[in-house]
């Protein structure tokens, strides 16, 4: 039976938040299309993840284990996922809107002769045709585009942090399907030469409930040390605008925006950030936005729930002092 297929990714023995978000989207599609939800998990030693996928909403799990799938490799994943799709015959394939989804999506859509929709933020059914329509941002977030594929099979990537992670439903189970994928090293046109892992400390930026972010207005790497101190007090993570990362003040992995990370914290604190559309596109999922800028006409104030026209450092240091006083009581 046709259905919705989600690519499940894993890290450190857990399903990634990206996967849980995709399962939320798949569950919504299940209600609209009356089709089951399947998940494809690729790699080695995958037994741990199968029951987790069931309790988070999957009705079926396609489990493909092969030594060449141990780490992500574009050619291997494309070939394996194509073979799974040939067996599952899904109507919709959902991929994360990250580097993996951006590479796999077009390649898989070509092989399936399917439509490809990138970085959707919402979807619904067309009342006239009954076909799926996807909404995605356009022109750097200045407009919204509605895309309605003209073919029956769709491959789509979901913009990260626009869907809530799927909750657990304890005791839920489903059907596990083992897929013996045909893979050979000679089929892989690219090879991983070296993996450089950036040393990560503290809370992951994508999962943080509080994000303290800085832009050009903090005037250098010294300013970010103040923001790191504030983030530590608030038990949050530090982010940055593109201007700050381009200047080399902080690592590129801290960049938030259309060309960086998407975040959806409970609280987003923006210090010295003007609020360019590409940055705002990456924080649209934030529940509360507080902006501090000396320019009262800064665009960031248009999206902030609370705006403070003041020197960023004066506000940040006061917050640090006050938060410490409160936590010491």
CATH class of the 210-328 domain in this structure: alpha beta
Phi, psi dihedral angles at 187 (to 5 degrees):
-80, -15
CATH 3.40.50.1220 domain extents, the chain: 210-328
- Which ranges of the chain have pLDDT less than 70? 1, 198-201, 329
159 alpha-carbon distance from chain centroid: 6
Residue 191, pLDDT score? 82
Beta strands in 215-259 (DSSP E): 237-240
Q: List, for residues 56-109, the tens digit of each pLDDT value.
A: 999 999 999 999 999 899 999 999 999 999 999 999 999 999 999 999 999 999
CATH 3.40.50.620 domain extents, the chain: 4-187
CATH class of the 4-187 domain in this structure: alpha beta
User: CB-based burial of residue 54 (10 Å sphere; 0-12 exposed, 13-18 middle, 19+ buried)?
Assistant: buried
- pTM of structure: 0.85
Cβ proximity of 91 and 36 under 8 Å? no
The whole-angstrom separation of Cα 235 and Cα 210 is: 7
Residue 329, pLDDT score? 60
Residue 136, pLDDT score? 93
Q: List, for residues 207-241, the tens digit of each pLDDT value.
A: 899 999 999 999 999 999 999 999 999 999 999 99
The whole-angstrom separation of Cα 2 and Cα 23 is: 17
């Amino acid at each position: 039976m046709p259905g919705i297929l989600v690519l499940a990714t894993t890290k450190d023995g857990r399903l990634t938040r990206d996967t849980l978000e995709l399962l939320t989207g798949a569950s919504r599609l299940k209600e609209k299309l009356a089709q089951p939800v399947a998940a494809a998990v690729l790699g080695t030693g995958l037994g741990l993840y199968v029951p987790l996928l069931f309790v988070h909403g999957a009705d079926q799990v396609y489990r493909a284990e092969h030594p060449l799938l141990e780490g992500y490799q574009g050619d291997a994943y494309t070939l394996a996922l194509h073979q799974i799709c040939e067996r599952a015959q899904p109507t919709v394939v959902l991929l994360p809107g990250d580097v993996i989804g951006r590479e796999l999506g077009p390649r898989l859509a070509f092989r399936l002769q399917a439509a490809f929709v990138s970085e959707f933020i919402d979807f619904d059914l067309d009342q006239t045709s009954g076909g799926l329509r996807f909404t995605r941002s356009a022109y750097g977030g200045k407009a919204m585009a509605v895309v309605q594929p003209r073919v029956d099979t769709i491959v789509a990537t979901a913009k990260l942090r626009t869907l809530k992670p799927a909750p657990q439903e304890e005791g839920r189970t489903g059907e596990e399907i083992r897929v013996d994928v045909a893979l050979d090293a000679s089929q892989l046109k690219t090879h991983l030469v070296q993996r450089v892992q950036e040393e990560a400390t503290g809370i992951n930026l994508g999962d943080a409930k509080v994000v303290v972010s800085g832009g050009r207005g903090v005037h250098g790497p010294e300013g970010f040390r103040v923001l790191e101190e504030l983030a530590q007090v608030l038990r949050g993570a530090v982010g940055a605008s593109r201007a700050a990362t381009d200047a080399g003040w902080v690592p590129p992995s801290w960049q938030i925006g259309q060309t960086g990370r998407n975040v959806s914290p409970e609280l987003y604190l923006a210090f010295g950030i003007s609020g360019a559309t590409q940055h705002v596109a990456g924080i649209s999922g934030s529940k509360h936005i507080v902006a501090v800028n000396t320019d009262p006409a800064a665009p960031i104030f248009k999206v902030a729930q609370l705006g403070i026209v003041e020197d960023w450092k004066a506000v940040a240091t006061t917050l640090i002092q006050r938060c410490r006083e409160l936590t010491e009581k």
